[in-house]
């Protein structure tokens, strides 16, 4: 049975194909789908389980129409699994940016069924704001870096808890490192009632376990990054060592997908908001677009680079150049130079040397510009 127009009755198959469009809305317990034909008429709408059996059932239900299928699903946890499974079944699947979908189709009422219909309509009109999908290897690189960050944050949380327990019983830490040799000797002699003493000792043991795991991951990241295309270049920038270099390279992925350095800076979310209308030009805080882990890594690198005398000199020079050039908006000309440095120099110690050292072969059609390092918005 073939689909011709929006009619589902049996008739001879036409020599051309009619594309079917499926909108998918994924939740924890169900996958709502809305199947539309080329003219926007609904063929069917239902929900299946968001697992392998449910996806196979969905593919079988759509396969009876014997037409090519294009699907769209919002980016969220589990969307990549649905994307991979359906593409293996011969579907053309796009993962849409959830924020851009909301901007394209603002709705007064929001349900899972309506969301599925919206995605199907965007697919039918070829308006899906599709995101870039990393390869399986690139996803593995990201997972290693993110898992390490998760362990580091857990270790910091345990250390803070130990310090809080000591302060609660009048034992402020008298040494610089409570988890060093001298600090552990003090913890062994700690006079603290139960169950708080047992909790402190258990937290110290968990910190030791996390230290061992983090050390092993650091060794693995350094070994994997030695032959990486971008990491040796990144580690030449003040403030970036192997861990941050691996994280930045993993989160960026393929740098060739950015047509210019300005686009890369915009992807990091470290560019200011711009609200311009007529003679008014307002620039606010950071856009916070792109992956938060990339933004964290760049901010950590900038903090480290600010302690480096070479990068501090570069940042001061970049800020002075921005003040004298058109990179500084007229609305900010009355601001003091120090305030402008604080406002625009967030990523300057890292971004400017990185863009200066990046080979021009990465952006063959455009010479790298350093305006983004001084706070200018990407074009």
What CATH number should be reported for the domain holding residue 54?
A: 3.30.420.40
130 in a structural domain: no
Residue 214 lies in a domain: yes
Give the model's pLDDT for residue 316.
59
Q: What backbone torsions phi and psi does residue 337 show, to the nearest 5 degrees? A: -60, -40
User: Are 23 and 119 within 8 A, CB to CB?
Assistant: yes
Among residues 227, 262, 292, the one where a domain terminates is 227
Arithmetic mean of pLDDT, 263-286: 88
Q: Are 31 and 58 in contact (CB under 8 A)?
A: yes
Choice between 144 and 337, residue whose per-residue pLDDT is larger: 144
- Domain membership of residue 342 (yes or no) is yes
> 182 or 52: which carries more pLDDT confidence?
52
Mean pLDDT of 170-199: 84
Q: What pLDDT does residue 325 have?
A: 53
What local confidence, expressed as pLDDT, does residue 314 receive? 58
* Domain span holding position 157: 136-227
Q: Is a pLDDT exceeding 90 seen at residue 282? A: no
Q: Which residue has the higher pLDDT, 307 or 325?
A: 307
Does residue 235 have a pLDDT over 60?
A: yes
Q: Same domain, yes or no, for 248 and 172?
A: no
Q: Are residues 199 and 255 in the same domain?
A: no
Give the pLDDT of residue 90: 93
Q: Which helix (H) or strand (E) holds 73?
A: strand 69-74
Strand-pair category, 42-48 with 31-36: antiparallel
* pLDDT tops 50 at residue 216: yes
Boundary-marking domain end, from 192, 212, 227:
227
- Greatest mean pLDDT among 10-19, 90-99, 370-379: 90-99
Q: Are residues 27 and 116 in the same domain?
A: yes
Are residues 55 and 149 both part of a single domain? no
The answer as to whether 258 is a domain residue is: yes
Give CB contacts under 8 A, 24+ apart, made by 85-93. 85/52, 85/55, 86/55, 86/59, 89/55, 89/59, 91/22, 91/59, 92/68
pLDDT at position 329 is 53
Alpha carbon distance 98, 71 (integer Å): 15
Largest CA distance in the chain: 88
Q: Which pLDDT score, from 0 to 100, does residue 320 have?
A: 55
Residues 205 and 240 in one domain: no
Q: What average pLDDT does this structure show over 216-237?
A: 90
Out of 192, 227, 262, pick the residue that ends a domain: 227
What single-letter DSSP state applies at residue 334?
T
Instruction: Output phi, psi for 17, to 5 deg.
Output: -95, 145
Q: Specify the number of domains making up the chain.
A: 3
Is 202 found in the same domain as 327?
A: no
The verdict on residue 153 lying in a domain is yes
CA distance 249 to 225: 9
**238, 370: one domain:** yes
pLDDT grade, residue 146 (50/70/90)?
A: very high
Q: What is the pLDDT confidence band of residue 363, given thresholds at 50, 70 and 90?
A: very low
CA 263 to each of CA 134, 252, 257, 287: distance values in angstroms, whole numbers, following the listed order: 18, 12, 9, 13
Residue 80 domain flag:
yes
pLDDT at 352: 47
- Do 116 and 153 fall within a single domain? no
DSSP tag of 255: G
At residue 177, the pLDDT reads: 86
Please give the average per-residue pLDDT across 205-229, as a whole number. 92
Share of the chain above pLDDT 90, in %: 48
In the three-class reduction of DSSP (H, G, I as helix; E, B as strand; rest coil), residue 59 is classed as helix
Residues 212 and 119 in one domain: no
The verdict on residue 78 lying in a domain is yes
- Is the confidence at residue 113, as pLDDT, over 80? yes
- Do 370 and 275 lie in one domain? The reply is yes
Residue 3 forms part of a structural domain: no
Whether residue 275 is found in the same domain as residue 350: yes
Range among 12-21, 41-50, 337-346 with highest mean pLDDT value:
41-50
Contact assessment for residue 72 and residue 94, using Cβ atoms and an 8 Å cutoff: yes
Work out the mean pLDDT of the chain and round it to a whole number.
Answer: 81
Q: What is the pLDDT of residue 176?
A: 81
Q: Which residues contact 34 (CB under 8 A, 6 or more apart)?
A: 22, 23, 42, 45, 113, 116, 117, 119, 120
């Amino acid at each position: 049975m073939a689909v011709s127009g929006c009619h589902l009755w049996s008739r001879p198959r036409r020599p051309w194909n009619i594309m079917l469009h499926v909108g998918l809305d994924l939740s924890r317990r169900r996958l709502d789908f809305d199947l539309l034909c080329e003219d926007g008429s609904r063929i069917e709408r239902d929900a299946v389980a968001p697992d392998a059996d449910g996806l196979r059932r969905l593919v079988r239900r759509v396969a009876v129409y014997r037409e090519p299928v294009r699907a769209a699903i919002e980016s969220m946890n589990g969307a990549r699994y649905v994307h991979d499974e359906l593409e293996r079944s011969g579907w053309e699947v796009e993962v849409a940016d959830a924020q851009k979908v909301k901007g394209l189709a603002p709705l007064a009422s929001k349900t899972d069924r309506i969301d599925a219909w919206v995605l199907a309509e965007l697919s039918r009109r070829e308006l899906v704001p599709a995101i870039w999908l990393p390869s399986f290897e690139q996803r593995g690189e990201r997972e290693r870096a993110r898992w390490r960050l998760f362990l580091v944050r857990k270790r910091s949380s345990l250390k803070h808890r130990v310090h809080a327990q000591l302060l609660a019983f009048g034992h402020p830490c008298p040494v610089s490192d409570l988890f060093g040799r001298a600090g552990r000797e003090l913890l062994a002699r700690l006079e603290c009632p139960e169950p708080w003493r047992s909790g402190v000792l258990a937290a110290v043991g968990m910190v030791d376990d996390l230290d061992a795991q983090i050390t092993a991951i650091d060794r693995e990241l350094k070994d994997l990054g030695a032959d990486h295309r971008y990491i040796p270049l990144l580690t030449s920038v003040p403030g970036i060592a192997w861990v941050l270099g691996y994280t930045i390279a993993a989160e960026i992925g393929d740098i060739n997908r950015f047509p210019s350095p300005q686009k890369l800076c915009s992807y990091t979310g470290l560019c200011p908001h711009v609200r311009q209308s007529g003679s008014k030009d307002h620039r606010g805080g950071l856009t916070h677009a792109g992956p938060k882990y990339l933004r964290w890594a760049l901010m950590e690198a900038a903090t480290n680079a600010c302690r480096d005398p070479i990068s501090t000199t570069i940042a001061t020079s970049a800020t002075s150049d921005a003040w004298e050039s058109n990179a500084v908006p007229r609305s900010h000309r009355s601001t003091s130079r120090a305030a402008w440095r604080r406002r625009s120099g967030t990523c300057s110690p890292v971004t400017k040397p990185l863009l200066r050292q990046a080979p021009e072969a990465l952006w063959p059609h455009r010479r790298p510009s350093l305006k983004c390092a001084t706070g200018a918005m990407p074009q």
